[in-house]
């Protein structure tokens, strides 16, 4: 039986650029338990027993057109306690966002590699 989502993995073609986004804009902290693998990458703890993994690997979707609104694309939804604060950080960093089209208090953006992220305000 499925008990939850343990981690979400995103491919990156430029690990330094992606780390600047995930650490500098989203304020994520590195997890210290990434095992040695055959490729570079980082892991972030985002909640109790939940992580985001970035893997430095070639992008298999190069040249593929992605929808402008991340809600119409494959994405991961992350709960945040201060959506307006996060939105201000994204805006201040020049990261384009779109409001959820469902009417929920949520926004979508893309990371530097075009991966769609949804941020939903939780209480």
Q: In what order do the strands lie in the sheet with 41-47?
A: 7-12, 50-56, 41-47
Higher pLDDT, 68 or 84: 84
106-109 long-range CB contacts below 8 Å, 24 or more apart? 106/77, 107/83, 108/69, 108/70, 108/71, 108/75, 109/70
The tens digit of pLDDT for each residue in 25-48 reads 999 999 988 788 888 999 999 988
For residues 116 and 110, the answer to whether their CB atoms sit within 8 Å is: yes
In this predicted structure, the answer to whether residue 63 has a pLDDT above a threshold of 90 is no
State residue 73's pLDDT score: 87
- Nearest one of 92, 103, 97 to 117, comparing CA atoms: 97
Catalogue all structural domains in the chain, each as residue range(s) with its CATH number: 7-59+67-121 (3.10.180.10)
Band (92; pLDDT cuts 50, 70, 90): very high
Could you identify the residue written with the tokens 């070639």?
58
In this predicted structure, the answer to whether residue 96 has a pLDDT above a threshold of 80 is yes
- Nearest one of 4, 108, 11 to 50, comparing CA atoms: 4
- Rounded to an integer, what distance in angstroms lies between the CA atom of residue 119 and that of residue 86? 9
State residue 104's pLDDT score: 87
In this predicted structure, the answer to whether residue 59 has a pLDDT above a threshold of 80 is no
For residues 43 and 10, the answer to whether their CB atoms sit within 8 Å is: no
Q: Mean pLDDT across the stretch 39-62?
A: 89
């Amino acid at each position: 039986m499925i008990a939850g989502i343990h981690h979400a993995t995103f491919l990156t073609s430029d690990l330094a650029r992606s780390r600047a986004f995930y650490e500098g804009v989203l304020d994520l902290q590195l997890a210290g338990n990434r095992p040695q693998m055959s490729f570079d990458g980082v892991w972030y703890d985002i909640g109790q027993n939940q992580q985001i993994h970035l893997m430095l690997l070639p992008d298999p979707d190069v040249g593929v057109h992605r929808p402008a609104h991340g809600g119409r694309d494959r994405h991961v939804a992350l709960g945040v306690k201060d959506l307006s604060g996060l939105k201000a950080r994204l805006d201040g960093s020049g990261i384009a966002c779109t409001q959820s089209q469902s009417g929920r208090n949520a926004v979508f953006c893309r990371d530097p590699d075009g991966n769609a992220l949804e941020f939903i305000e939780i209480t």
